[in-house]
Amino acid sequence: MRLRLFFAQKLASGEPITRRRAFRTLRDWIRTESAKQEFDDKAMLHLTKGLHYVMWMQDKMLWQEQLADNIASLINLFGKEEESVLYIKCMLITISNEWSRIDRWRMDKFLMLIRRLVRALFMRLHSKDWKRAITDMYINAFKDCVISSDKSFSEGLKFHFASIYLDELDGAGGLRPDQVTELLKPYAELLADGTVSNYLFDSVIQEIFLSILHQYAEEKVEKNETNEPTAESASDQGIKFDYAEISKLLLDVGKKPDVKSARRKRLYAVSKKFKAAENGQVPFVMVTKAQTRLKAKVPKSEIISAVSRLMNEVAEDRLMKKQAKLVSKTRTPLRETSQSGKVVKSKKTKKVARKVQQRSVMIRKKRKSIKK
């Protein structure tokens, strides 16, 4: 406990020299401890809680970025791959446990820390040629936390992880289309889980699968606009997708009996879009102005009749408003009762009646002129 506090205080120091020395000491300590004895869950959680506290205490923006990179780089110091997997998992668990206590002023730096952790992990996997056995170890760890339906794990953290997943895979590179499909499978399997919240289901659809289609659609439009052969763009150098396999993957998930009908329709719809991408079509229908115009011609008589009705309604509405104003302004009653009990119209009542009659005559004349 004292050692953890010591490292936390030194690593969060405002002096650059003190921070650098503290990190060198921490690195040496991790290497030594890992060589002596493998880190267990308890020891790793103690370490990650201390690192979380360090990030919590750091308020300088430039130092936050440096600190996030330093924390992420610790993944490469452990003696065994299992310890590196445990380190990433415990960091995510610690951040999730503290998620509800992170205020809006500190949220950005922790989102950045998560991104740097994922980036360091994918770069490590790239350096190991994305070996299936090693990659599966990390994916299985993700299935226990950020790619799971576990309600005890923060939904906000799951969403953020999904939003950066493809970006960081693209940044790491070195993946074949079939490997990319394998890395998408955990999210596809998550969509089949009936206990997943609607929020997380929609987030995965949007941030993972529709993002791939949006990227494809943008590239398709760019290629159509520029017919001339151009140099290889940044998007051409990024990860490639097997649209046919992804379409089949989502279709198979939608066929599972436990999937709700509304979600099944959504999965089938997205699967069809990937099928369209496979065939070289744009998955999202772009409607032009010409397509929005009415195809059927409306007879002129119907247009005249509609305009006439509209003008009549507007005129009557204005007349009613004026009549209401006249009634509200006068204090004398519009109607008077004679001794015999008969209703006698006042002068103002007669005046309003004349105006109503004149207005109706004008409306009739306008209607006749429109018909002509």
User: What are the structural domain ranges in the chain?
Assistant: 2-174, 187-194+206-221+236-293, 303-331+345-371
pLDDT number for residue 218: 86
Q: How far apart are the first and last CA of the chain?
A: 95
Burial category of 295 from C-beta neighbours within 10 Å (exposed 0-12, middle 13-18, buried 19 and up): exposed
pLDDT number for residue 295: 52
Burial category of 68 from C-beta neighbours within 10 Å (exposed 0-12, middle 13-18, buried 19 and up): buried
pLDDT number for residue 110: 96
pLDDT number for residue 21: 85
Angle (CA) 58-63-67 rounded to 5° is 80
Q: Is the pTM of this model over 0.95?
A: no
Burial category of 212 from C-beta neighbours within 10 Å (exposed 0-12, middle 13-18, buried 19 and up): buried
pLDDT number for residue 3: 58
Rounded distance between C-alpha atoms, residue 150 and residue 148, angstroms: 5
pLDDT number for residue 139: 97
| E strands present in 255-351 | 335-337, 343-345
For the CA atoms of 359, 365, 367, 370, what is the dihedral angle to 10 degrees? -140
User: Over its length of 372 residues, how does the chain's per-residue pLDDT go in tens digits?
Assistant: 555 566 666 766 667 788 778 888 889 989 998 998 889 999 899 889 889 988 988 888 888 998 999 999 999 999 999 999 999 999 999 999 999 999 888 999 999 999 999 999 999 999 999 999 999 999 999 999 999 999 999 999 999 999 999 999 999 999 999 999 999 999 999 999 999 999 999 999 999 999 999 999 888 877 776 665 544 544 456 789 999 999 999 999 999 999 999 999 999 999 999 999 999 887 876 544 454 454 556 677 777 888 888 888 888 888 887 777 776 666 545 454 444 555 455 566 666 667 767 777 777 776 666 555
